[in-house]
Amino acid sequence: MQLKFNAYNAISAQLQEAKAKVQQETPAFTTLQSATVPVGPSAPRKSRILLVWLFLAFLGTTLWAFYKDGHLKSLLGLS
């Protein structure tokens, strides 16, 4: 039991020394980088997204109108 206790104390002392060494090498103050402002937007443009959705809405509405009137099959050449 005494051998295990001595081994534990030795390892505990090594751990305390390692913690003290890390704390001694770590600087108390760090130099921060200055803030940077991006040149351009990082996300897609809102106007492009709006135009895509307007096109898809126009296309969907047109196809729905042709389907409702019964002209969609003849337009696609299905019958």
Report the pLDDT value the prediction gives residue 68, as an integer from 0 to 100.
86
| CB-count burial class (<10 Å; 0-12, 13-18, 19+) for 21 | exposed
Instruction: Look at residue 28 and give its three-state secondary structure.
Output: coil
The answer on pLDDT for 7 being more than 90 is yes
Q: Could you tell me if 45 and 51 are in contact, meaning their C-beta atoms sit under 8 angstroms apart?
A: no
What pLDDT, on a 0 to 100 scale, did the predictor assign at position 30? Answer: 74
| Cβ pair 53, 62 in contact under 8 A | no
**pLDDT tens profile 11-29:** 999 999 999 998 888 777 7
pLDDT digits (tens, 9 = 90+) for 19-64: 999 888 877 777 788 888 888 878 888 899 999 999 999 999 998 8
Distance CA 72, CA 69 (A): 8
